[in-house]
């Protein structure tokens, strides 16, 4: 959260939410053994060579996308 806070110029905190309050699709995605939370980064980079790491993503527009969530 520190990197995001510095990037957007305001404190951003983390709050864990109970999984059972996210809805059935999110619950399934996060609890299923084959859930969406698994990512094969090497395969993604092969399919999407321009895929950015988090810091470059923030520099390339991610910061503005996060800031928009606060307005």
Residues of the chain with pLDDT below 50 are: none
Taking the model in full, what pTM does it have?
A: 0.68
Q: What is the pLDDT of residue 35?
A: 65
Half-sphere exposure (Cβ direction) of 12: Cα atoms closer than 13 Å: 14
Rounded to whole angstroms, the Cα distance separating 58 from 71 reads 18
Q: What is the pLDDT of residue 30?
A: 80
Q: Spell 11-48 as b/e; 16+ CB within 10 A means b.
A: eeeeeeeeeeeeeeeeeeeeeeeeeeeeeeeeeeeeee
């Amino acid at each position: 959260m520190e990197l995001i806070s510095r990037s957007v110029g305001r404190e951003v905190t983390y709050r864990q939410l109970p999984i059972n309050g996210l809805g059935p699709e999110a619950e399934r995605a996060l609890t299923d053994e084959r859930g969406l939370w698994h990512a094969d980064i090497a395969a993604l980079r092969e399919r999407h060579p321009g895929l950015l790491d988090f810091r470059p993503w923030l520099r390339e527009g991610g910061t503005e996308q996060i800031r928009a969530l606060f307005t």
